[in-house]
Chain A
Amino acid sequence: MNMNWSVVFDNLDLFAQGLLMTLQLSGIAALIALIGGLLVALLRLSHIAILRWIAAAFINVLRSVPPFALIIYVYYGISLAIGVNFTPFFAGVLALALQYTAWMAEVYRAGIQAVPPGQIEAAHSLGFNSVRTFISITLPQALRIVIPPLGNNIVGLIKDSSLVSYIGVMELIRSAQLLTSQTFRPFEIYTATVILYLVVTLVISQVFSYLERRHATGRDALGGRRHTSRRRRARLDRLTELAVTER
């Protein structure tokens, strides 16, 4: 089989545009899902039964719809029902954000519930109110737990964003399709496309394992014991001296 990689190198701008669109699409959706997921998880754990119930329904319904079906449903179904024309980009972001909000809500919920109740009791015994306890004690510990699964979800979201090509967003896959129909070099073009997905996925995984190491402490730090800056060290030394010398 004769290959001609110039079709890739001559069209780097097209790949770059496609990649940029993929990153925008999944970046915005991921941002919404990271925040929305936490909010839905809080509703899911609320003391108010009706809020808990609504959150559970949201999570269960959205997790059971295939992503492709959801994208089509949002683009053709919902926009028609409410009489507003969604742009393909908007529909794509909305569908991905909704679905990954549901996935991430379950991740956050598990993380929050994994924080031992003794932590919350200790905070309460010091006079922390519930909101303060959540922000200062529960959330930081839960975040440490959820960093790896959130990373996996974001990788999943980026891969699912390829489905948005179907409704006409010029992301990586759609760009590759277009280029293939003009050049008839599917092998070279899709090889390049797959490599680009691979690179993005690897970068995301690396970022998340860095975050995981940074937020681990002590024995569970996997060799990445939390770094004590020189300024922090000096501050601790000053405090030590102060406490030792007085009285």
Chain B
Amino acid sequence: MIRLRSIVKSYGDHEVLHGVDLTVHRGEHVVIFGPSGSGKSTLLRSINLLEQPDSGSVEVLGAEYGPGIPGATLPRGNRLQLRQKVGMVFQQFNLFPHLTALDNVSIALRRVKHISRDEAEVRAARALRRVGLIDKLGSYPSQLSGGQQQRVAIARALVMEPDVMLFDEPTSALDPEMVGEVLGVMRAVAEDGMTMVVVTHEMGFAREMGDQNVFMDAGQIVEKGDRSLFTTTTEPRTRKFLEAVL
């Protein structure tokens, strides 16, 4: 469903991704972990072209985005359409502070999918119920806790009915007591069959949900594997990182 090939990205003359390949299958839950600054966010953000790679191919659902690779045969896709198929949840929530929870979740239905206000609000209310916030429809982000804000952000992405959801350290900005409620919602979304790519340091979540676990370091994928990776890895950098976060 997603195929990244030879993704290279530099900021100025600082190359932060050195030709990364990653394939994500439908329904798969991919967990990306690794030290800070290793390029996890940059990789995740090239899937929905929030970062435009300098070279390499971004294939999503049968269309090609990004600079591409010579000889590619897939049709070129439009990035606005790509982003309707790919939901994203950010570390800092990035809720719209001037809008209520309900409006945060319904605005893209109305302004991007041009769905009527009544219908959009019904769908938004359902999405907010799904994340356990049906009693917060009229609340502004500043009136919600971090965990509640992040759940609104998940509902905001889910309501667009994306084919895949990207999570960039969704619990890193939360107080410890709120991590559980957000991971709970993510687990429920995963169990509903959503394809997910999750950057996280929550190794418990990776052990439980991670079909493909990817360790990144210094702009490269060092190794990837299924759940057994955590116990069987012999790669010293992975071992060192796992020991440090556990």
Contact = CB atoms under 8 A, between A and B. Distances in A.
Contacts of B111: 128, 132, 136
B6 interface: no
A235 B118 CA distance: 10
B83 A127 contact: yes
A243 B83 contact: no
Given A128-B112, A244-B129, A233 B97 contact: no
A236 interface: yes
Nearest to A135: B111
Contact of B90 (A121, A129, A219, A239): A121
Nearest to B121: A239
A139 to B, nearest CB: 10
Nearest to B137: A236
A56 interface: no
B128 interface: yes
Contact of A242 (B87, B122, B138): B122
Interface stretch (B8-16, B17-25, B140-148, B225-233): B140-148
Given A121-B90, A217-B142, A242 B125 contact: yes
B237 interface: no
A219 B138 contact: no
A119 B93 CA distance: 9
Contacts of B97: 141, 217-218
Interface residues of A, number: 35
B124 to A, nearest CB: 8
A64 interface: no
A239 B87 contact: no
B84 interface: yes
A122 interface: yes
A128 B126 CA distance: 22
B98 A141 contact: yes
Nearest to A246: B126
Contact of B140 (A122, A140, A226, A239): A226
Interface in A205-246: 215, 217-220, 226, 228, 232-233, 235-236, 239-240, 242-244, 246
B98 A239 contact: no
A125 interface: yes
A122 B98 contact: no
A167 to B, nearest CB: 43
B134 A244 contact: yes
Interface in B115-167: 121-122, 125-126, 128-129, 134-135, 137-138, 140-143, 153, 156-157, 160
A234 B97 CA distance: 23
A136 B103 CA distance: 11
Contacts of A233: 138
A114 to B, nearest CB: 12
A13 to B, nearest CB: 46
B88 interface: yes
B213 interface: no
A84 interface: no
5 interchain residue pairs of minimum CB distance: A218-B142, A122-B94, A126-B108, A125-B88, A243-B125
